[in-house]
Chains A and B, each alone.
Chain A
Amino acid sequence: MIEIEVFGKKDTRSGFGEGLLELGRTNPDVLALCADLTGSLKMDAFQKEFPERFFQVGIAEANMISIAAGMTIGGKIPFTGTFANFSTGRVYDQIRQSVAYSNKNVKIAASHAGLTLGEDGATHQILEDIGMMKMLPHMTVIVPADFNQTKQATIACTKHNGPVYLRFGRPSVPIFVREDANFVIGKADTIIEGTDVTIIACGHLVWKSIEAAKELEKQGISAEVINMHTIKPLDEEAVLKSIAKTKCVVTAEEHMYHGGLGDSIAQLLARTAPTPQEYVAVNDTFGESGTPDELMAKYHIDTPDVVAAALKVIKRK
C-alpha cells in the first residue's frame, strides 16, 4: 500500500519567499529585484529585512531582466521576481541576449505559472515557458513540486554559477518533500517505486501523479513516480533506469504538450530507447478563467487524466 507522508499544505511561491529570506541571511551577494509584485512573489520579508539589497523596478520587466544581468558584474547573484508570463514571454529577448548568451548568474524566479493561476485567465496563464527557457543555451530549468522543494531549489540554484529559470505557482498544495531533503539540480527524485508504468512529472503534477499511483494500485497496477524537478539538465539516467523496468511512460506537467517535460523525455527515448509514451499536458490551447481545480479538470491535467494515460500506455507495451 502506497503511503506518502504529508507535512501540511502551502503554496510553492511561499517556499521561494522563505528560501530567498534564508539566502539573504546567509549570502551577502544575493540581491532581489521585483516588478511590482512583491506580495504575490512573497518577496516582502526579504525586502523588509534587506532593503539595501532589494530593488523595486516597477512595471518594467524588460528593464528588470537587463538590470539583473548587469548586477552580476561585480559578483552579485540577483533574483528577479514576477509572474511566469512576464518572466519569460514578455522578456524573451532580454533573457536571450543579456542572461543566456552573456551567460550571467541571474536567477529568474517565476511565480503563478500555468493554469493554476486561476481566475485571471489566459493572459496570465503561461503554458509555454518551460519550452522557451529550455531552448536557451546555458539555461538551467527547475520546476519544484511543493513548498519544501521550492525553498530547497531556491537555495540550491545559488550554488550553480549560471542562469536559472525557477518556476513555481500560486495555489496551496500538499507538502510531501521532507524539510531536510537534499535538493540536487539535475538529480530526479523517485518518490514511488513500481514495475508496470513510469510516471514522470514536475511541479503541481507530481502530487497528482502520486494520487494517480494510489488509484492505479487499487486496480492492481504498480506505478513508479519520478519527480523530475529539473527539466534541464535532464536526469537521463533516472529515466532510462526506470523505463528499462516498466517499458512505458506517462509524462505529466502543467504546460503545453509542445516544448515541455514530455518533449524532453520523448527526445531522450527516441534517441536511446524508443518507448510508448502518453502525455498529460495542455493540448495546444489557451486557458481561461476558473478555479485551479476546475481548470485542471477541464484541461485534462488532473489525477484521473494521469490514471487514464497510464492505463492507455500499458496497453501499448
Chain B
Amino acid sequence: MENAELKRIASQVRRDIVRMVAAVSSGHPGGSLGCADFFTLMYFEVMKQDPKNFTMDGKNEDIFFLSNGHISPVWYSVLSRRGYFPVPELNTFRKLSSRLQGHPTPEKGLEGIRMASGSLGQGLSNAIGTAQVKKLNGDNCLVYTLHGDGELQEGQIWEAAMYAAAHKVDNLIATVDYNGRQIDGDCDDVISLGNLKEKWQAFGWVVLEMDGHNFDDMRKTLAEAKAKTGQGKPIVILMKTEMGQGVDYMMGTHKWHGSAPNAEQLEKALNQLEETIGDY
C-alpha cells in the first residue's frame, strides 16, 4: 500500500481514537495515538488475515495479540476500518452491553479479538502458546504481539522471554511500544528499564529497532524480522514512538496515558487530524 494511503487511514484512526475516548470521558488515548501508524501498517499491509471470515483458530492466518490491552481504542478502530466488524459499532466503546469493552475480550464475541488483555504481562505467553501450536499444525503463518514498555516491568514477560528462547519459538515477532512513558510518569522515573536491547539479547532474542512513525522504516524492519523467522530464535522489535502522536498537546508528556479530552480539547485535537475515510 502507498504511504500516502496508509497516512490517510492512520489519520482517520487517530480521529476515531480521540472521539471514542471523549464520548465516554474515559480510556487511553496516549498509547493508542502513538501506535496508530503501527496498527495501520500491520492490518492494512503486513499481516495475512481474513477479516470477513474471522475464526478463533485463525488457521493459516497471522495472529496478533495486544498485550497492553488498555490501548484498545486503536485496535478497535483499525479492526473495524479493516472490515472485522461494522464501523458504527465504535459508538458503543466502553458503554453498557457493548462488545467493545474498556479492555479487549473475546467473551463478547467481537471479531478480531482472541484473548482478553488488560492485566499486563500475559500476552507474550499467550502468543508463545499459539505460535507453538501453529508449528504443531504445520501452519507457517506468524504470531505478532504488541507490548507497552512499562509493561516489561511485569515479571511474567521475562518468564515468557526465557521460555521462547529455550523452546526456539522462532515464528513469533514481538513489538515493544518504546515511548518511554507510563501512567505515573517517564519509565526511567518509575522504574528504569535499563538497557532494553541488551536485556532481550541476553535472553536469547533477535532484537531489531524501528521508528513507529515512519512507514518505510517499519516496512523494512518488519520484512527483516519476517526474514529472520524460522532460524531458532524469537524476534523482538523495539519500536520508538511518541505517546499522543498527532495531537500536539498530548505529546511530550505521560499525562494523556489514561485521560480523555473534554469537548474543547477534543475539538482542538480534531482540528489537527484530517477526516479522510469519514467519521463513524
Q: Which residue of A lies closest to B134 (CB)?
A: A74
Q: Which of A60-68, A110-118, A237-245 participates in binding chain B?
A: A60-68
Q: Which of B55-63, B173-181, B187-195, B250-258 participates in binding chain A?
A: B55-63
Q: In chain A between 49 and 73, which residues have their CB closer than 8 angstroms to a CB of chain B? A: 52-53, 55, 57-58, 60, 62-63, 65-73
| Interface residue A101 (Cβ < 8 Å from any Cβ of B) | yes
Ordered by A's residue number, 10 sampled pairs between the chains whose C-beta atoms are within 8 Å are A57-B163, A60-B163, A63-B163, A73-B58, A73-B115, A73-B129, A75-B133, A75-B137, A76-B133, A101-B105
Residue-wise, chain A 66-94 has the 8 Å CB interface mask toward B (1 for contact) of: 11111111111010000000000000011
| Interface residue A97 (Cβ < 8 Å from any Cβ of B) | yes
| Interface residue A103 (Cβ < 8 Å from any Cβ of B) | yes
Expressed in whole angstroms, the minimum distance between the Cβ of A264 and any Cβ of chain B is 24
How many residues of A are counted as interface, with CB atoms below 8 angstroms from the partner's CB atoms? 30
Which of B133, B134, B162 has the largest number of chain A CB atoms within 10 A? B133
Asked if A97 and B132 make an inter-chain contact with CB atoms under 8 angstroms apart, the answer reads no
| Interface residue A102 (Cβ < 8 Å from any Cβ of B) | yes
Asked if A101 and B163 make an inter-chain contact with CB atoms under 8 angstroms apart, the answer reads no
Q: Which of B29-37, B74-82, B117-125, B271-279 participates in binding chain A?
A: B117-125
Interface size class of B (residues with CB under 8 A): 35 or more
- Do A63 and B106 form a contact, CB below 8 Å, given A73-B114, A74-B139, A97-B122? no
- Do A94 and B115 form a contact, CB below 8 Å, given A63-B160, A102-B107? no
Q: Which residue of B lies closest to A137 (CB)?
A: B107
Asked if B159 and A74 make an inter-chain contact with CB atoms under 8 angstroms apart, the answer reads no
Expressed in whole angstroms, the minimum distance between the Cβ of A61 and any Cβ of chain B is 9
| Interface residue B91 (Cβ < 8 Å from any Cβ of A) | no
| Interface residue A190 (Cβ < 8 Å from any Cβ of B) | no
Asked if A63 and B156 make an inter-chain contact with CB atoms under 8 angstroms apart, the answer reads yes
- Do A63 and B139 form a contact, CB below 8 Å, given A55-B167, A97-B119, A102-B116? no
17 further A-B contacts with Cβ under 8 Å, apart from A62-B159, A68-B129, are A66-B129, A67-B163, A70-B127, A70-B129, A71-B130, A71-B133, A73-B129, A75-B137, A78-B129, A96-B119, A97-B118, A98-B122, A101-B105, A101-B116, A102-B107, A102-B116, A103-B106
Q: Report which of A58, A72, A74, A94 forms a contact with B163, defined as CB distance below 8 A.
A: A58
List the 9 closest A-B pairs by CB distance, nearest first. A70-B129, A66-B125, A74-B133, A63-B159, A70-B126, A71-B129, A60-B159, A67-B129, A70-B130
Expressed in whole angstroms, the minimum distance between the Cβ of A57 and any Cβ of chain B is 6
Asked if A97 and B116 make an inter-chain contact with CB atoms under 8 angstroms apart, the answer reads yes
Expressed in whole angstroms, the minimum distance between the Cβ of A95 and any Cβ of chain B is 11
| A68 CA to B160 CA, complexed, in Å | 12
Residues of A contacting B: mostly: helix
| A18 CA to B136 CA, complexed, in Å | 23
Which of A67, A93, A94 has the largest number of chain B CB atoms within 10 A? A67
Residues of chain B contacted by A78 (CB below 8 angstroms) = 129
| A70 CA to B133 CA, complexed, in Å | 8
Q: In chain B between 133 and 150, which residues have their CB closer than 8 angstroms to a CB of chain A? A: 133-134, 136-137, 139
Residues of chain A contacted by B239 (CB below 8 angstroms) = none
Residues of chain A contacted by B133 (CB below 8 angstroms) = 31, 70-71, 73-76
| Interface residue B128 (Cβ < 8 Å from any Cβ of A) | yes
Residues of chain B contacted by A60 (CB below 8 angstroms) = 156, 159, 162-163
Residues of chain A contacted by B59 (CB below 8 angstroms) = 74-75
Asked if B163 and A69 make an inter-chain contact with CB atoms under 8 angstroms apart, the answer reads no
Asked if A67 and B107 make an inter-chain contact with CB atoms under 8 angstroms apart, the answer reads no
| A97 CA to B122 CA, complexed, in Å | 9
Expressed in whole angstroms, the minimum distance between the Cβ of A280 and any Cβ of chain B is 36
Asked if A102 and B129 make an inter-chain contact with CB atoms under 8 angstroms apart, the answer reads no
- Do A74 and B126 form a contact, CB below 8 Å, given A62-B156, A67-B163? no
Expressed in whole angstroms, the minimum distance between the Cβ of B167 and any Cβ of chain A is 7
